[in-house]
Structure 1
């Protein structure tokens, strides 16, 4: 069984950018891990327990796009949501590549700390909920004759924080 996804991995080759990312995400209270290059990011992702990865696109040797490409081809890491950060602007082909590779989001520098915090919180809570559901499903498959003694324990991010928002009929969620 894979490790419980709990860390947010922050990857940038500039220490000041890593500090800014950390400062934006510390209020969420999630464990943070750092990497300063693509190789270190891949090693951290393969060690397990990463819930969300936030990657700078432009890094020497192994770019954020290279990391994302690799992550999507490995069973162990394929479901990890990856947020890419770029200073290249909207006119570059980075957005097309990010979409094609399955990035959860693409943010432009300078990154709005509130926007980053909201995106990471949503992706983190969703990833944890998916993990819990998979764990419950695996348990049910291993013990097919047993009935559930309680309702599933998975809650949406809104239920975890106590926020409740009713969408108008026919409206869809944030994605």
Structure 2
């Protein structure tokens, strides 16, 4: 089974984009960010899905995945901050309250996303291979047995008290004299 086929890549990229953007949004809100307009969440999901689809064509190193995930989290933070539904009480900071908690929140999501991409792809491939192998076993045509299968035990040898059952005898002098 080709885990890198376009159909499966679209499904994987879409699932990754939805989960990644929702996790990023949740952590953004938990870290003190303002609520975000729905079209911006959709734009973040579509852009993440498109890049995930493009990057899923070949296997990337862990460092490259982590770099891409940090880059996207940085972009999502700024996108969420620009399109935030800011209540009037928050205007006194000018929207520039980038705290350590916000950086940690997006950093955690970036690390988790990179870990999912690096290990989750292998796990998905292995799971699909096992599923296909199991389905092939189940779909294999069964050949009925000709008759009842009877397993018989081999007759056990009864020891007769002799230790040597065969002896090789060679009488005569050696072929070459010893020196």
Do these two structures clear the TM 0.5 threshold for a shared fold by scoring above it?
no
Q: When you count helix as a share of all residues, which structure comes out higher? A: 2
Q: When you count strand as a share of all residues, which structure comes out higher? A: 1
**TM-score, length of structure 2 as denominator length:** 0.30
Q: Which has the higher contact order (CA 8 A, sep 6+)?
A: 2
**TM-score, length of structure 1 as denominator length:** 0.31
